[in-house]
Amino acid sequence: WEMQIAATEDEFKWLLKEEVHSVLKQLQDILKEASRRFSMPAAGLESQLKQENFILGSSTMDQVKGVLTLQGDALTQADIHLKMAKSNQVMHFAFRDDKQWKMQQIQDARNHVTQALQLLSSRDESYHFRTGAEVNKLMDAVMLQLTRARNRLTTPATLTLPELASSGLMKMFTPPMPGDVMVNFYTNLSKLCLTVYQLHVLQPNTTKNFKPSGSSVLHNPGAMFELNNTKFEVSHVHKVECVVPWLNDTLVFFTISLQLCQQLKDKISVFSSYWNYRPF
């Protein structure tokens, strides 16, 4: 039994010295790849990020068509054709040349990856882990950043309709958006989504059952809100999206990294259970 404990102890020391660093190296390599996806340089231009065009599609309708240009975490152009429900005429909007829209979700996700990499690089090969608890603490900190990064891409912000109406996004287009149209962009997993709302003004005599709707990622037809003493109702909602392959890559990298962290924690807990009386 004594020998078995000694052997297990040696094995555990080896784990702390060798295997932990090998896993940390793997994690760093994977997350560097993820980080690179967020800032792919344009061919031949190291300082400039690659611009990519994505065609917005929907299988169900052609009321909204568009092309989005993504450069890192910024939408640099959005070219949108919208068929108005009432008049059936097609309207065309595009970003003004001097404007671009920061995709906050992508920016935040990238920042979390950077923080995870900083945590890992603070423990280089020469660093000696003394206890399993110390490794667990590092893994938990890295996992927290990766979970936050993933959640940012998978969970768009919820907004009220007045927040949407007064968002800076509405001021980016030429010609300016008419008062009865609102748009929103967000990412959901590896998809870039555009939602277009068509509105109509509620006449004062129809507002007896006016009920303003709350905060949501996607509002439904019939949702109501008030802005500058005017009451509106959403009459039509169009949602179109496109897949961004590199966002899909980063989500895969997050999953693999989280699994590696968890596996290392599991190994440490196996050893720790040998010594219930020792502070691993």
Express each pLDDT in 86-134 by its tens digit: 888 999 999 998 889 999 999 999 999 999 999 999 988 888 888 888 9
Give me 35's structure tokens: 């980080």
Burial of 176 (C-beta count, 10 Å sphere; 0-12/13-18/19+): exposed
Cβ atoms 234, 222 nearer than 8 A: yes
Helices assigned H by DSSP within 15-90 = 20-38
Average per-residue pLDDT for the chain: 88
Which residues of the chain form beta strands (DSSP E)? 41-42, 45-49, 51-56, 64-71, 74-83, 90-95, 101-102, 173-174, 181-188, 191-201, 224-227, 230-243
Q: How far apart, in whole angstroms, are the C-alpha atoms of residue 147 and residue 211? A: 36
| Residue 62, pLDDT above cutoff 80 | no
pTM of the predicted structure, to 2 decimals = 0.87
